[in-house]
Amino acid sequence: MSEADQQSHPEIREAVRRLCAGFPGDYWQRLDRERIYPTEFVRTLTEAGFLSVLIPEQYGGSGLGLGAATAVLEEIHRSGCNGGACHAQMYTMGTLLKHGSEAQKQAYLPAIARGELRLQAFGVTEPTAGTDTTRIRTFARKVGDKYVVNGQKIWISRAEHSDLMVLLCRTTPRDECAKPSDGMSVLLVDMREAVGKGLTIRPLRTMLNHATTELFFDDLEVPAANLIGEEGRGFRYILSGMNAERILIASECIGDGRFFVDRATAYARDRSVFGRPIGENQGIQFPIARAYVQIAAAAEMVAKAARLFDAGADCGTEANMAKMLASEASWYAADMCLQTHGGFGFAEEYDIERKFRETRLYQVAPISTNLILSHVATHALGLPKSF
């Protein structure tokens, strides 16, 4: 690894690389073909403590910051693995950590840190709301000591493989609120008790092995004790979690980008055409070099956003910019890598096409590039909101 690639938390990075070496490309290819959840990989990460880096030591975690979490996910992706099966356990943690009661933290966080519980499902997106979260329709009606939930969610990954879900729903109709973002609440749903008792999970097959699902709520009863924070303030609670999500996803993109640069560089050195390595041709060199530059620059933005987040500073704009720059850099690197490999880039054995498909997702999720540009235009530049 070059000096320019040496980032923070070198010990964590080295440990993650050693762990990922046990899960080579053919492991991921098989799971991708058969749409299998990487249970063994997630268990190994959990036992090594990498999924509990953000949990305070008093609850059994490492008590590290988001910077450490970005190092974990970046190295997972640079190693050719994929953190999509478990990364939500890091960023959904923030909602419980920052806004949950002490009783809720004591009840769940130690078990999550030990690997006895999985908190990997984040129920926000709905078919009719899309990126306008204020228009969600899933409604939780307070009845005595419980909430009764009705509605629908879509594009919810890992719901079949999670014990707990952070669920955003309305508790006051939108037209009765002073602001559109008011009247939403966060419930911690125990999936083990909910499935078949008001919650139906329908898998959605996509071009990625992300265990994506659609959820249907039909009079699902959730204990009122599972309300996180105050009723009606849920939208505010998940915003910080969304910032963490965008920064962590950006770190995965950095890892993907470095994977593609590493693979393209090695192939360009070894592949000979017309009696010489193709890497001698500037038509091959320059795209690889450009991808390297773009990834390096985006990594600096990711590091800045993580520092702001860990300092408790406002980082919404930086988190969004980090996600946009990193996702675009990784997508450029993916296209470059496939082009460098030529026809072999489409061959499954080279494991480029799988990563190519996986990194394409981040142009769309968890937030689209256009929505990021809209955020920057209105929040950083003071331009009027468009409707």
Domain definitions of the chain by residue range: 3-114, 119-232, 236-380
List of E strands, 231-374:
272-273, 276-277
Contacts of 104 (CB under 8 A, 6+ apart): 96, 188, 226, 228
Confidence of residue 4 (pLDDT cuts 50, 70, 90): very low
pLDDT given at position 111 = 95
- Asked if residue 249 lies in contact with residue 301, where contact means CB atoms within 8 angstroms, the answer is no
For the segment 165-191, the average pLDDT, to the nearest whole number, is: 96
CATH of the domain spanning 3-114: 1.10.540.10
Buried-state track 135-152, b at ≥16 Cβ within 10 A, e below 16: ebebbbeeeeebbbbbbb
- Asked if residue 95 lies in contact with residue 186, where contact means CB atoms within 8 angstroms, the answer is yes
CA distance linking residue 103 with residue 108, whole number of Å: 9
Q: Is the pLDDT of residue 363 over 90?
A: yes
For the segment 287-297, the average pLDDT, to the nearest whole number, is: 98
If you search the block for the tokens 């890892």, which residue do you land on? Answer: 255
For the segment 198-226, the average pLDDT, to the nearest whole number, is: 96
SS3 308: helix
pLDDT given at position 1 = 43
- Asked if residue 236 lies in contact with residue 181, where contact means CB atoms within 8 angstroms, the answer is yes
- C-alpha closest to that of 40 among 65, 22, 67: 22
User: What's the CA angle centered on 373, arms 368 and 374, to 5 degrees?
Assistant: 95
Fold of 236-380: Butyryl-CoA Dehydrogenase, subunit A; domain 3 (1.20.140)
CA distance linking residue 231 with residue 11, whole number of Å: 42
For the segment 211-225, the average pLDDT, to the nearest whole number, is: 97
Q: Is the pLDDT of residue 2 over 70?
A: no
CA distance linking residue 226 with residue 202, whole number of Å: 24
- Please state the pTM of the whole predicted model: 0.94
Q: Which CATH architecture has domain 119-232?
A: Beta Barrel (2.40)
